[in-house]
Every structure is written in C-alpha cells, then in structure tokens.
Amino acid sequence: MQHRSLGRTGIKVSTYCLGAMMFGKMGNPDHDESIRIIHRALDAGINFIDTADRYSAGESEEIVGKALKRRRDSVVLATKFHGSMSDDPNMQGNSRRWITRAVEDSLRRLGTDYIDLYQVHRPSPDTDIEETLSALTDLVRAGKVRAIGSSTFPVSEIVEAQWVAERRGLARFRTEQPPYSILDRGIERDMLPTCQRYGMGVMVWSPLSKGMLTGKYRKGQPLPDSPRAKYFTKQFSDERSLEAVEQLILLAQDAALPLTHLALAFVTAHPGVTSAILGPRTMQHLDDLLAGAEVRLSEDVLDRIDGIVPPGVDVGLNEANYMPPALVRPELRRRPAGERSAA
C-alpha cells in the first residue's frame, strides 16, 4: 500500500481510505464482523479511516472506536459533522453551538481524545463560514482536532473559506472530500485544480459511483435487489451511465482487469487525489478491492477512458451530491411575476 501526503499537513495516509459508512444498521449491523473488516484493512496497510456522526446515527463511530482499541496511534482517523442527529433543529448544521456538542459526542463514541481530521460534511447556507471556522479553530488549539476539512463543498465556498481563514487568522480547511469516479468527472474542471492551488488533500468518495462500476448494474437488465438500488433508482437506471458502463466493461476486459480495479486505479492516478475511499459492507467486498491496490493504468487505457467519458464531464446522475439552494428552491432562480411581466 502506497502512502501520500495529506495536502500540506505533513500527515502521511494510504492511497486507499477505509470508509465506515456501511458499518452499523445502514449496512452491516454485525459489530464483530465490521471490526474484523477494519482490522483486515489495517493489516493490509491502510492507515486512514473515514466515518461520520450521522452514519447509522453514531453506530459507525462506535464500531470504529471498538476496532481501534490498542491501534489508535497508528491510524489517521477522520470523521464528519453536519447531519441531523435528532429532531432538535439545533442538533445539526455548522454552528458553533452544534460543533462544540458534536465533537464531544464523536470523541466519546470513537473512544479517543483527539480526531486527526474533522470535516464539515456539507455546507450550511444559513451559517457564516467565519462562525464555523472560528469554532473549529478553537478545537484545533485545544488539541481535540489536528486538522479540519470540508466535504462536498462547491468550489466557490472552498475559496471563500480560504480567504476568510487568511483574513481572520483562523485555521483553514486542509482537505476536501468530493465525489469522483469515471462516471463523475466534473471535479476535474475546477475543484481539483483549486485544491491543488491551496495545497489541500483530496479524499474522494464513491469511486465506484455507488456500485455502478462493479458491473452489477447492466443496460437492459433489471436492477439487483439491493439497498443502494432502492435509494438511487434514478441513478442506476440512467441510460447514459449504463451505456458508459457497458463500454468500460469491454475496456476492462481488454486490459485484463476487473472493472472495480480499473475504476479505483483511475481515480488514484489523478495528481490532485490523495486517497480513494472504499466503502465495503462485507469482508469479500474489502478483499476484492484490496486486490487492486497495486494496479497502475497505462496511458493507452487512460486515453480510452477519456474517449468513453470525456475529462471534466459528469455522465449521469449523482443523487447523493450536494445541491446548492439556488438549484433546489425555485424562488431563488425566478423573478417575481410582476417583474417578469414588466420585462
């Protein structure tokens, strides 16, 4: 397993990061098996684990905490806050009030006294970024957090956060966690160059495009009976994505590679990517992914991928991506009726 610098933090992390979203009732409810999967990943050379407080309502963090007993010092541990943790409207978001509560809850569940990378899971349009960075800076100075990062932020908000941190003398985001796969290449246009410009580490989520790049979802065939297919029906039924998958399956066969290994090697080949997040639910899933850790793609294969999905293009849907308010709320993109008629 190779290791790379996490941006300019000086922290070295494996090119594969173990994502813990599928540990707990959202995926694998068997704590003992989940712990064995974590230990298998660590034994294979992965030293980077990413979770979040909202994954299985804190259960994922609890499982990770159990698994890291007596192994904590050798692991770069990342978690995230933002998502709702109860019906209380203030137990969510990016406010100082919630951050100071959320970090204590995560530290308790993880069984540790510090978090290596504490990330804002999504933007909060109703919260000043200065409010968020100020609270996170206090956590860094208190030693509870080593570095801070963002996840699935628009490029404009990443730049704004960097400027605010510089002007106010606050800790700055050292990492970003965006979606990236052969089918989701939009971040190549601006996101990855921007992160490189600011020296930010990048750990990409969904490098298999939620499983579409496993080869299980095929054009003209019924969707498998799986939790992901139920959650992301539109994405898994998207004709453009399915057509691209068919071409990628043929390319993988020509390259004598499993499609999953092709997909992971593609994202880690980009010079702006630090680590690819794996999200196994079973030991078999993990072992299949680990088998491709040393795969390197030739220029010819990379060129052929570009021919199927051009650089900077998102082929299909990503139903888990962040949608800014201007796209979700019609009143933010439509003038009042009186102004439209006057025009």
The catalytic site residues sit at 55
User: 93: helix, coil or strand?
Assistant: coil
Give the C-alpha separation, 44 to 290, whole Å: 8
Contacts of 9 (CB under 8 A, 6+ apart): 146, 147, 174, 175, 201
Q: What is the DSSP string of 20-74?
A: -TTBSTTSB--HHHHHHHHHHHHHTT--EEE--TTGGGGHHHHHHHHHTTTTGGG
Alpha helix ranges (H) inside the chain: 31-43, 59-67, 96-110, 129-141, 155-168, 191-197, 227-231, 233-236, 239-254, 259-269, 283-290, 299-308, 325-328, 337-342
